[in-house]
Amino acid sequence: MNYIPNILFAVALIVGIGYFAKNVKKLIRNIKLGHDVDVSDNTSQRWKNMAMIALGQSKMVKRPIAGFLHIIVYVGFIIINIEVLEIIIDGLAGTHRIFSGIGPLYGVLIGAFEVLAFLVLVSVIIFWIRRNVVKIKRFWANEMTSWPKNDANYILYIEMVLMLLFLVMNATDLKFQEMNNGNVISQFIAPWFSGLSDGTIHIIERSAWWLHILGILGFLNYLYFSKHLHILLAFPNTYYGKVKPKGELDNLESVTNEVKMMMDPSIDPFAAQPESAEAPAKFGASDVQDLNWVQLLNAYTCTECGRCTSECPANQTGKKLSPRKIMMDTRDRLEEVGKNIDANGGTFKEDGKQLLDDYITREELWACTTCNACVEACPVSIDPLSIIMEMRRYLVMEQSAAPMELNNMMTNVENNGAPWPYNQMDRLNWKNE
Amino acid sequence: MSNTTLKVPTMAEYMAEGKQPEVLFWVGCMGSFDDRAKKVTKAFVRLLNKANVDFAVLGTEESCTGDPAKRAGNEFLFQMQAVTNIEVLNAYEIKKIVTACPHCFNTIKNEYPGLGGNYQVMHHTQFLKSLLDEGRLTVEGGQFKGKRITFHDPCYLGRANDVYEAPRDLIRKLDAELVEMKSCKSRGLCCGAGGAQMFKEAEPGNKEVNIARTEQAIDVKPQIIAAGCPFCNTMMTDGVKAKDKESEIEVMDIAELIANAQDL
């Protein structure tokens, strides 16, 4: 017996999965560069969010056309993977269509896969047309430079090829076509090859089979480098996403401690600091390490669909701010920091760069109206607003770099208890006016 | 409009009498100082007086909630304001607060509890709705019967806190024709004032946000744009002026609609 294909298959599988696992470890390490944040609350609500938003795609269908097509591709992706299980067993054991022994149900299953594969193919082609022919605005915004555009198209091409290979593999499987059970779509492709000898058809079938599984392993490894990571990270991201009302911003605990000290007359401000006292934490964020790990997970989860940006009032009126760019910049900088750590034996070496200014400009940050439209629009519970707020906090509290008008407003709040220079003692004057 | 004087007791007066009001009316900075918003404040008070609601204001003891400072990034100033306000509110043993400003509403409801301020907080549209439901206030369409009214969702009431129906229920009670803009409810477009934008010039762009929103409103040909936020009110009023539509479209707070409908 010839074991070479089995061994080759096992090697491909180990290399494919092994390299992916290595990158997942790197991904987790990068995400953990963020601050810790307590996400142990509201577990039942969190599971519900994951079930509804990620599994149930509830936010995708807010835009019905894209939502419907996405559900086809998503369901296809999950269900067709049952077939991958068969391919893996066949590949390792040297069997052929090992599940076909289960009887007529096999035909029903494969038939369903074929229909889905066809629908996925059609959907993916429509997606490609929407991006490249119809040129829907959100796919052509400023932050959609060459890599984001190419990345999106590569994903579509890979999916097209994988679906075609699956259908060709079935169409050229002479035994399977003879069974005439489950070849719902492939029976129409089979005649394309009818002029060829059985031997040639067999070679085509084997090639399609190998390319299909190698393609899947390749695609798996492409994820880490691509926006397509969302197919995995949407699940944890919707679980860890915000469960509080959208309007609620966190109260910075480090500030609370300082404010309490200021308000407490019993504290001696001149008392010597205990030796163990830590240097006060930085307020807000100027780089990715200042963000929390959920915000960094958000960045890796973003699939650059641009729904946030298309709903953003600042972006709609021509300002530079784009919530999608905030997420893309955060990921790009995080990747850069990760590579820096890899290159320097596990520790970050100062590179003179940061998320603020080198990636995200102040003009973008100050254009935000905090309206939460981006947060509402995101189909996978990403919160770009929280990153904008952290960076504003850094600008104001660490750098005193607020726009002048805002400094005036804040001086008024501080002195008069109102954002304008009115006297607090006049607050009830309206009553007699 | 009748000229009966408004009854606006302060917490200090209640305290002196050893009494506790049913609810504290948090007026907010806009409601206290802005000429347009003061009219909303008074309309709401007329309704409270009409419904015999036992309420009080803090008056000169009220101070900015700290919302614009927090959204500008100044967490220190926000927390200083918050802690000071909470001390006052807790000293008066306040349990329930109503406010006509969604920014004050959001801040006191969501951000004060973590700093020791726990109150039941209602937006004035929610409070008016409850007065109607309890039969303490009745509404008739009056001058607004059959008028085309569109409601502009304040971000800090709608998306921020999922309150979409209370203001709409009130408009429906006026027997008015409620029309929705292209972007409404959870997809409502911001007026452009939030996140401390009210206090600064906008960044360079090709349009002001309030103009974009006003255009959406004009598209549905309303006679009245109903607002539920003093900041939105200003932005939409400016937008209507910029579009030369002042003679056709009025911007009014829901409290004004309800009060004016009964000639209060």
State the smallest CA–CA distance between residue B227 and chain A in angstroms. 16
Check pLDDT > 50 for residue A111.
yes
Is there a contact between B71 and A249 if contact means CB atoms under 8 Å apart?
yes
Strand partners, B25: B98
User: DSSP state, A214?
Assistant: H
State how far the Cα of B48 lies from the Cα of A177, in Å rounded to an integer.
79
Helix (H) or strand (E) holding A75: helix A64-93
Q: Exposed, middle or buried: residue A97 (CB in 10 Å: 0-12, 13-18, 19+)? A: middle
Residue B214 has, within 13 A of its CA and on its CB side, a CA count of 24
Give the pLDDT confidence score for residue A407 in this predicted structure.
Answer: 97
Helices first, then strands: H and E counts in chain A: 19, 0
Q: Exposed, middle or buried: residue A56 (CB in 10 Å: 0-12, 13-18, 19+)? A: middle
User: DSSP state, A397?
Assistant: I
- For B177-225, how does the pLDDT look when each residue is reduced to its tens digit (9 = 90+)? 999 999 999 999 999 999 999 999 999 999 999 999 999 999 999 999 9
Inform me whether the C-beta atom of residue A373 falls under 8 Å from chain B C-beta atoms: yes
State how far the Cα of A252 lies from the Cα of A390, in Å rounded to an integer.
10
State how far the Cα of A293 lies from the Cα of A278, in Å rounded to an integer.
22
Chain B CB contacts of A313 under 8 Å are 189-190, 192, 209, 212-213
Place of tokens 């304008």: A420
Give the pLDDT confidence score for residue A243 in this predicted structure.
Answer: 97
Question: Which of the residue ranges A15-19, A27-31, A260-264, B110-114 would you say has the lowest mean pLDDT?
Answer: A260-264
Residues A229 and A299: beta-carbon distance below 8 Å = no
Residues A350 and A285: beta-carbon distance below 8 Å = no
State how far the Cα of B174 lies from the Cα of A419, in Å rounded to an integer.
35
Inform me whether the C-beta atom of residue A431 falls under 8 Å from chain B C-beta atoms: yes
Other beta carbons within 10 angstroms of residue A314's beta carbon come to 28
What is the SS3 string spanning chain B? CCCCCCCCCEHHHHHHHCCCCCEEEECHHHHHHCHHHHHHHHHHHHHHHHCCCCEEECHHHCCCCCHHHHHHCCHHHHHHHHHHHHHHHHHCCCCEEEECCHHHHHHHHHHCHHHCCCCEEEEHHHHHHHHHHCCCCCCCCHHHCCCEEEECCCCCCCCCCCCCHHHHHHHHHCCCEEECCCCCHHHCCCCCCCCCHHHCCCCCCCCCHHHHHHHHHHHCCCCEEEECCHHHHHHHHHHHHHCCCCCCCEEEEHHHHHHHHCCC
Give the pLDDT confidence score for residue A273 in this predicted structure.
Answer: 61
Helix (H) or strand (E) holding A428: none
Check pLDDT > 80 for residue A280.
no
Structure-token pair, residue A137: 């605005």
Give the pLDDT confidence score for residue A77 in this predicted structure.
Answer: 87
- Residue A139 three-state SS: helix
Give the pLDDT confidence score for residue A275 in this predicted structure.
Answer: 57
Is there a contact between B208 and A317 if contact means CB atoms under 8 Å apart?
yes
Check pLDDT > 60 for residue B234.
yes
Give the pLDDT confidence score for residue A281 in this predicted structure.
Answer: 76
Inform me whether the C-beta atom of residue A410 falls under 8 Å from chain B C-beta atoms: yes
pLDDT-derived band at A2, boundaries 50, 70, 90: confident
Give the nearest chain A residue to B112 (CA atoms).
Answer: A251
Give the pLDDT confidence score for residue B263 in this predicted structure.
Answer: 81
Residues A80 and A113: beta-carbon distance below 8 Å = yes
Check pLDDT > 70 for residue A88.
yes
Inform me whether the C-beta atom of residue A252 falls under 8 Å from chain B C-beta atoms: yes
- A253-263+280-423 CATH: 1.10.1060
CATH topology of domain B11-131: Rossmann fold (3.40.50)
Give the pLDDT confidence score for residue B1 in this predicted structure.
Answer: 46
Mean pLDDT of chain B: 96
Query: What are the extents of the domains in chain A?
Result: 4-31+63-231, 253-263+280-423
Give the pLDDT confidence score for residue A271 in this predicted structure.
Answer: 67
Nearest-5° angle of CA A407, CA B156, CA A364? 50
b/e for A169-198, b at 16 or more Cβ within 10 A?
Answer: bbbbbeebbebebbbbbbeebbeebeeeee
Check pLDDT > 50 for residue A276.
yes
- For A226-264, how does the pLDDT look when each residue is reduced to its tens digit (9 = 90+)? 999 999 999 999 999 999 999 999 999 889 988 888 887
Chain B CB contacts of A403 under 8 Å are 200
Q: Please give the residue that has the higher pLDDT: either A67 or B5.
A: A67
Structure-token pair, residue A279: 């240097």
Mean pLDDT of chain A: 94
| Mean pLDDT value across residues B139-164 | 95
> Torsion-angle region of residue A251: left (phi > 0), alpha (psi -120 to 50) or beta?
beta
State how far the Cα of B139 lies from the Cα of A99, in Å rounded to an integer.
70
State how far the Cα of A374 lies from the Cα of A46, in Å rounded to an integer.
20
State how far the Cα of B236 lies from the Cα of B230, in Å rounded to an integer.
10
Q: Which of B32, B79, B162 sits opposite A255 (nearest CB)?
A: B79
- Residue A7 three-state SS: helix
Give the pLDDT confidence score for residue A103 in this predicted structure.
Answer: 85
- For A376-412, how does the pLDDT look when each residue is reduced to its tens digit (9 = 90+)? 999 999 999 999 999 999 999 999 999 999 999 999 9
Chain A CB contacts of B64 under 8 Å are 413, 417-419
State how far the Cα of A412 lies from the Cα of A406, in Å rounded to an integer.
10
Architecture, CATH, for domain B139-261: 3-Layer(aba) Sandwich (3.40)
Is there a contact between B72 and A396 if contact means CB atoms under 8 Å apart?
yes
Chain B CB contacts of A311 under 8 Å are 187
Other beta carbons within 10 angstroms of residue A394's beta carbon come to 23
State how far the Cα of A249 lies from the Cα of A244, in Å rounded to an integer.
9
Query: What are the extents of the domains in chain B?
Result: 11-131, 139-261
Which of A253, A259, A385, A433 to mutate to probe the B interface, most B CBs <10 Å?
A259
Interface confidence (ipTM) of the complex: 0.96
- For B135-151, how does the pLDDT look when each residue is reduced to its tens digit (9 = 90+)? 999 988 789 999 999 99
State how far the Cα of A211 lies from the Cα of B162, in Å rounded to an integer.
50
Chain Cα centroid distance, residue A329: 13
Task: Enter the pTM of the model.
Answer: 0.95
Residues B158 and B183: beta-carbon distance below 8 Å = no
Check pLDDT > 90 for residue A279.
no
State the smallest CA–CA distance between residue A30 and chain B in angstroms. 26
State how far the Cα of A53 lies from the Cα of B246, in Å rounded to an integer.
43
Place of tokens 């109503």: B98
Percent of chain A whose predicted confidence (pLDDT) is above 70: 97
Question: In Å, how far are A244, A312, A325, A387 from A383, measured between CA atoms?
Answer: 12, 13, 13, 7
Amino acid residing at A113 = F
Other beta carbons within 10 angstroms of residue B137's beta carbon come to 20
State how far the Cα of A41 lies from the Cα of B10, in Å rounded to an integer.
39
